[in-house]
Structure formats: C-alpha cells, structure tokens
C-alpha cells in the first residue's frame, strides 16, 4: 500500500515538473532534420518546411507543336516527325551526343552525353541516367507532365530533372499540363506507319 502511494506521489511530481518546464519555455523549437522543424507553440505542434527546401518549379505551359511549327502539314509523309533530328519512343544515348533536336518518350543518358543542341526538344515520360546527371543544350526543352523539374537542389546550385542533376540546362523550359500533350507519339507513329 505504501509503494502505491509513493508511486502515485512520484507520478504527480513528474507531471508537475513537465508542466512547469512547458510554461517556462513556450516557444521552444526542436530541430528534426535539415528539411523540417518541429515548432512548439502554446497548445499545438506543427511541421513546417525550412527556407532552404526547394519545391517543384512551375514551368510555362507547353501548348501544342502546331503553334511552334505552324507551316508543318501533318498530312505530309513525315509531318511533325520531320522537324526533329531524332524522333523515337525510346532513345539510349548513354555514350553518344545527340546533335540537333530530339523528341522522345523515354531517354537513357548520362551527364557526359549532351541531348540536343538546337531548336525545340521534347521529353515526354521518363529519363534515366547512368551517372545521376544529364545535359540538355536545346534552345527550348519541353517536358511531359509527369516529369519533375527543380531549379535548385539542396546543397547544390544545379537544377534537377526527376532527381538527376543537370550539367547543362536549355535556355527555355516548358511543360505539358495535365491531359494536354505537346504531341501524341502513338498517333504520330500510327500515321507514319500508314504513310509508309
């Protein structure tokens, strides 16, 4: 019985001490990581991003290829495909530079291989890099809506594309909006196959 009373009194003393500590330090901040802080205010806890955390960069809307290439007749043999030096669903350029401009759904590259060096290039769905970096030198690079571009990575001044650092960045960037693709690869390849 005496043990129970002593435990009860000790519990009350601990709660009183905690309450006094909280009243003496009402705006204490506890650092959780480099990215978030736990901020204690009077009765609430909240997580907030620190100032140096970067977020996705919102790019201008890509629009349609018809506004960039108004003189192209899509009933001609090559149509819009004829306006690109490389037009393919999948391109592997890990050890090669791609001179000119490029239109592809999926790109495998490396930081040492330059993708496009003039005109408008279009990367629609996915990028993979063998060494965590990529290089784009086109005048304009248009990205598909699922790709994530960031102007700055924490602790690095270079921008990134889907987490890959960009050793070279194009002069202008634009991006597809949800449900609106710059060009439709499936319909273009079906049209090319019919023309052939």
Highest mean pLDDT among 8-17, 151-160, 178-187: 178-187
Output the pLDDT for position 45.
47
Taking only the tens place, the pLDDT of each residue in 5-59 is 777 787 777 776 676 655 555 444 444 444 444 444 444 444 444 444 455 678 9
Taking only the tens place, the pLDDT of each residue in 54-65 is 556 789 999 999
Quote the distance between the C-alpha of residue 105 and its chain's center: 16
% of the chain surpassing 70 pLDDT: 78
> Beta 36-40 vs 29-31: how paired, if at all?
antiparallel
CA separation (Å) from 87 to 147, 175, 184, 189?
19, 18, 12, 10
Q: Give yes or no for a contact between 65 and 182, defined as CB atoms under 8 angstroms apart.
A: yes
Burial class (CB in 10 A: 0-12, 13-18, 19+), 163: exposed
Q: Give yes or no for a contact between 86 and 103, defined as CB atoms under 8 angstroms apart.
A: yes
Answer yes or no: pTM beyond 0.85: no
Indicate the average pLDDT of the chain. 81
């Amino acid at each position: 019985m005496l043990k129970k009373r002593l435990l009860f009194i000790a519990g009350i003393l601990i709660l009183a001490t905690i309450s006094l500590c909280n009243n003496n330090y009402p705006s204490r901040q506890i650092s959780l990581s480099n990215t978030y802080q736990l901020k204690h205010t009077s009765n609430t806890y909240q997580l907030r991003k620190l100032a140096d955390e970067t977020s996705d960069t919102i790019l201008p809307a890509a629009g349609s290829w018809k506004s960039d290439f108004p003189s192209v007749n899509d009933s001609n043999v090559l149509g819009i495909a004829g306006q690109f030096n490389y037009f393919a669903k999948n391109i592997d350029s890990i050890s090669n530079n791609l001179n000119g401009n490029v239109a592809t759904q999926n790109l495998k590259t490396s930081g040492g291989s330059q993708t496009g060096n003039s005109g408008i290039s279009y990367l629609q769905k996915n990028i993979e890099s063998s060494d965590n970096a990529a290089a784009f030198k086109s005048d304009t690079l248009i990205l598909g809506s699922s790709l994530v571009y960031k102007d700055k990575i924490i602790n690095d001044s270079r921008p990134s594309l889907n987490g890959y650092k960009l050793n070279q960045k194009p002069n202008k960037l634009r991006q597809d909006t949800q449900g609106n693709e710059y060009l439709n690869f499936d319909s273009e390849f079906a049209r090319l196959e019919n023309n052939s």
